[in-house]
Amino acid sequence: MNVLIIGSGGREHALAWKIGQSSRVDRVFVAPGNAGTEVDAENVDISATDTAKLISFAKQNQVDITVVGPEAPLCDGIVDDFSEAGLRAFGPSRRAAQLEGSKVFCKKMLRTADVPTADFHTFEDATNAERFINERYGETPEDVPLVVKADGLAAGKGAIVCGTQEEALLAIEKIARSREFGTAGDRFIIEDRMSGQEASILAITDGQTILTLPPAQDHKRAGDGDTGPNTGGMGAYCPTPAINDEMLSWVEESVLVPTVHAMKRSRNPFRGILYAGLMLTPQGPKVLEYNVRFGDPECQPMLMRMKTDFIDVIEATLDGRLAEIEPLQWDPRPSICVVMASEGYPNPYDKGHSIRGLEEAAKVEDVKVFHAGTRMVNHDVVTNGGRVLGVTALGESVATAKLQAYRAVQCIRWDGAWCRKDISDKAITQQI
């Protein structure tokens, strides 16, 4: 069969690499892809949001299954559009994707389904929100543990963490007055800020059966020790001891099952990857947010460990027969992914730097270098984004996997390349 993967990041390279290993798959196309998918698959020069062209390509090239990587096309309804065109696409419908596309939808659903999450209030205008802040915190302006979140997609920047009344008012100003996130700020929520470790629990569901994947942990801040600005994710490892088996069962029963049932009851059945971003609070895990696709970079170490033919799982999800498949098989070894980034990221950065040492890095045992912001120029791989590579390794222990990943990182160089040095240390030192 032929498979089309939509997207151009490290997640999509990992999907193309894994799906391309199936004996049932003849050709893997990636639209638009990157320099890594150009080697491991076939790139197609169509943007991830140009649905009409993607449909036309899929028809002309006998694509049997399309796998959608990023959230934007899912929230725009690409799966519905493919389905109307008689094509099979893996991921939630537009209505189900609101779990990520609308924070208000998500929080209301969590409340209806009685899933643990922070208390929240919804607003449509700045004046009411400012009054709420001033009335509630006027006497304690220096202790305002809140998060103000734009309702819609805002490229990962729409959640503003606040500690004081001034910061909360500034966040409202940004979202609802100066409209920094455009229509994503038409509505917004103010929720209590939670504290603790974060963990990512992902599951594959056909709307009935839920297959939970091994827990992972992302590293969202730019600096070692979780300091500095937020990024799209500077590294991840899987499994994480932050979530033990007992806690994982609890999350399945108290978070994933009620969510999938609530979506079904509201006639928005969820099919695809359901990703619960959890805060492990002293009162137990609570949902920070839902995403409706694989995490990036969590996908890279997860798929590195998956032994089951992933296209079989995708097909069973599309057919609504996940209950019938064999349990998923995993490499028992842990895996870690270290993201190498461009100088300046997550602030503005240059592109077009030649990347050296990729061949040497590929020779390090149990390592796969997934590309993200890269492109091929005259057979030369150059930087083309903020997060450039996801150097991913397996090891007998987390410490060994970390050693291998950083060994490969040391082989790779370009002007301004940098990475965090402490990916997975929370697992190694048990600072959880």
d(CA 49, CA 31): 10
If you count DSSP H runs as helices and E runs as strands, how many of each does the chain have, helices first?
Answer: 16, 22
Rounded to a whole number of angstroms, the minimum distance from the CB of residue 256 to ligand GLY is: 17
Rounded to a whole number of angstroms, the minimum distance from the CB of residue 275 to ligand GLY is: 7
Sort strands 2-7 and 27-32 into parallel, antiparallel or unpaired. parallel
**Amino acid found at 79:** V
Rounded to a whole number of angstroms, the minimum distance from the CB of residue 100 to ligand GLY is: 9
Rounded to a whole number of angstroms, the minimum distance from the CB of residue 422 to ligand GLY is: 17
Closer to ligand GLY at the Cβ: 118 or 144? 118
Closer to ligand GLY at the Cβ: 218 or 315? 218
Residue 149 tokens, joined: 């979140």
Query: Contact at 8 Å (CB) between 197 and 432?
Result: yes
Rounded to a whole number of angstroms, the minimum distance from the CB of residue 219 to ligand GLY is: 9
Residues 6+ apart with CB under 8 A from 363: none
Sort strands 227-230 and 374-377 into parallel, antiparallel or unpaired. unpaired
Closer to ligand GLY at the Cβ: 268 or 291? 291
Query: Contact at 8 Å (CB) between 322 and 316?
Result: yes
For residues 9-42, one letter each, b for 16 or more C-beta atoms within 10 angstroms of the residue's C-beta and e for the rest, the string is: bbbbbbbbbbbbebeebeebbbbbbbbbbbbbbb
Rounded to a whole number of angstroms, the minimum distance from the CB of residue 14 to ligand GLY is: 12
Closer to ligand GLY at the Cβ: 38 or 298? 298
Rounded to a whole number of angstroms, the minimum distance from the CB of residue 235 to ligand GLY is: 10
Closer to ligand GLY at the Cβ: 43 or 291? 291
**Which residue's Cβ lies closest to ligand GLY?**
295
d(CA 267, CA 30): 32
Closer to ligand GLY at the Cβ: 185 or 297? 297
Residue count of the chain: 432
Closer to ligand GLY at the Cβ: 232 or 269? 232
Rounded to a whole number of angstroms, the minimum distance from the CB of residue 277 to ligand GLY is: 7
Interface contacts to ligand GLY, rule CB under 6 A: 218, 233, 291, 295-296, 298
Residues 6+ apart with CB under 8 A from 207: 260, 263, 264, 269, 270, 271, 320
d(CA 355, CA 267): 48
Closer to ligand GLY at the Cβ: 234 or 314? 234
